Structure 1
Amino acid sequence: MGNVILRYINLMVVTLLILSFFSFSLAYLFPGHPIENLTGIRLENISQIENTEFNYSSGESLLVQYWHYMGSLFDGNWGVSFNSGLPLYDEITNVLPASIELSAYALFISIFVGIPLGFLAAMKHHKLTDYSLLSISVLGYSIPVFWLALLVILIFSLQLGWFPLSGRISLYYEIPDITGFIMLDIFLSDIDNKEAAINNVIRHSILPTFSIALVTTTLIIRITRRSVIETMNTEFIHAAYARGLSGRQVLVQHGIRNALMPIFPLLAMQFTTLLTNAMIVETIFSWPGIGNWLIQAIYHQDYPAIRAGMLAVSALVVIFTMSIDLTIRLMDPKRRRLKRAAI
């Protein structure tokens, strides 16, 4: 167990170092002088160049510059946004929780809808229920996220008026920013109308959550269906039937656990898809997350914000995915015995 944990930590550290090097290299890949890309200052005279390059160590070798960049990252000095003039570390920590919250809502719905439907499709294998669920999953997976978001806005916001058009919460409510997660901030705050504020947040979250969760739900249905079918055709399941157990007993006592264990690592991989789709949906619904923030940074050619935002999102995906995979491997005895080359 200790060797597995150590190998995962080494792999995570190496991956994060590679990501940081690519983030460092973006300053040289953007058009223009690297110092102009990082500071937004037009270098018109030699004294200004020397003074500015000293702060970023750009007059040194690339290795020294990278070392200086890593030191700035750990110190929380991620640069300053051209657009707002605020430190990027503060801006990213303000917008990232909104994206995580929206992705968590979508993942929760995808799991608690997709897994039961996947089991239902598997237990009705080659029947009308199975074919119907497969058809729905293929159709849902084929719908582009941005088109679905625009469609639900047109139907449920503009025509029916059931849900708000955009935003995270109405401007009527003033919620103090304590953690960045608005539901938790409402519970921790001392406002009088907490129940109304929670209902308002839920109404604002329904349409963007549905737009993101649909694709992941359809994928989870097919993953669960395949895993359950493979598990129910194994020898130990046939042996359970031979002992006289009913179909319900076999499914509850042997089928569910053994079918779910191969699914969980694949579910962890869906976090990347959820976060990517969330970044698209945030722009359409004006959701104040890092996706909408990055799009605005691209529009304004805010190079420091683009570099820091991409690094933050990439590091979050790597840490989350590897942590979930490590947890599942430690929980599943069969996965602990995998060979070293499996990582």
Structure 2
Amino acid sequence: MIKLLIRYINLMVATILVLVLLSFLLPFFFPGDLLTNISGITPQSEQQRIALEQAFKLDQSIFQQFFLYIENLLSGNWGVSSVTQLNLTDEIMLALPATLELVMYSLIVATFIGIPIGFLSGLKHHNPIDFSVVTFSIVGYSFPVFWLALIFIITFCLQLQWLPISGRIDLLFEVQHQTGFILIDIFLSDIGDTKAAYIDAIRHAILPTIAVATITTALFIRFSRRSVIDVMQKDYIIAAKSRGFTQSQIFLKHGFKNALIPILPLLALQLSTLITNVMIIETIFSWPGIGNLLIQAIYQQDYPAIRVGMLVVALIVLVLTISLEYVSRAFDKTKDDKERAAF
């Protein structure tokens, strides 16, 4: 187990170094002035240009510039936006919780809907229930997330007017930013009607969550269904059936846990797709997350914000993916060790 952990830590560290190197090199490929691309500041005089070049070590070797970049990242000095002139560390920390919040909502919905339905479909293999579930999963996965979001806006926001069209909460509620997670901030804020604020925040989150969770749920259904079908064909399951146990007893005692284990690495591979879909949805629903920040930075050619934003997103995907992969491998190894000991 320790060797496996060390191996994954080494993999994570090596990949992070590659991502940081690519992020460091991005300003050299952006159009425009290299100094402005790196610092976010347009020099107004020759003296200011010289001072900025010395501050970012542009007058020294590229290796010294790279080490300075790593030092700034570790110290939280991520530069300033070339458009707003605001500290990028603060802007990213403001936007990141909103993105993680939407990812968490979508994962919760997809997990508690997709996996049970997939298990049911796998247990009812090749009957009308299974065919219906498979059809839903194919249709749900085939919808482009931006198209689905636009359909939701047209139907539930513009025509039926049931739900708000954008944002995380109505501007009438003055919720102080403390953690960045809106439900927690409502609890911590000193506002008059907390219940109304919670209801409004939930209403704002419904459509973005469903738009992202539809595709993720379809994937979870397919993965869990396939896993249950494979597990229920194992020799020890067939042996349990021959002893007279019912399918429900066999699945709850032997199949459920074993069916979950192969799902984890598959889910890890889909994290990048999930976060990409969340970033797209943020733009459509004006959800103030890091995806919306990145899109605005691209429109405004805010190259320092693009560089830092892309690095943060890549690191989040990397850490979550490798962590899930490690957990799944650890479960597999523990299971194999138990089977060997029993044998």
2:272 & 2:254 partners in 1: Cα distance? 31
Corresponding position of 1:234: 234
**Runs (5+) with no aligned partner, structure 1:** 338-343
Corresponding position of 2:247: 247
Distance 1:336 1:77, change over 3 A: farther
Letter in 2 for 1:136: F
1:119 deviates by: 1.2
1:161 & 1:33 partners in 2: Cα distance? 47
Corresponding position of 1:316: 316
2:48 & 2:94 partners in 1: Cα distance? 33
Letter in 2 for 1:217: T
Counterpart contact for 2:83–2:302, Cα < 8 Å:
yes
Counterpart mapping for 1:168-187 below 5 A: 168-187=168-187
- Alignment size in residue pairs: 337
Counterpart contact for 2:294–2:306, Cα < 8 Å:
yes
Counterpart mapping for 1:1-343 below 5 A: 1-42=1-42, 47-334=47-334
Letter in 2 for 1:95: A
Q: 1:239-258 deviations in whole A, cap 9, x for unaligned?
A: 11112211111011011111
**Runs (5+) with no aligned partner, structure 2:** 338-343
1:208 & 1:108 partners in 2: Cα distance? 13
Letter in 1 for 2:154: L
Letter in 1 for 2:58: S
1:258 & 1:41 partners in 2: Cα distance? 56
Counterpart contact for 2:23–2:311, Cα < 8 Å:
yes
Query: TM-score, normalised to structure 1's length?
Result: 0.94
1:267 & 1:14 partners in 2: Cα distance? 22
1:14 & 1:41 partners in 2: Cα distance? 31
Counterpart contact for 2:282–2:291, Cα < 8 Å:
yes
For 2:270, what is the secondary structure of its paired residue? helix
1:171 & 1:36 partners in 2: Cα distance? 35
Distance 1:224 1:237, change over 3 A: same
Of 222-231 and 44-53, the range deviating more from structure 2:
44-53
Percent same amino acid at aligned positions? 50
For 1:287, what is the secondary structure of its paired residue? coil
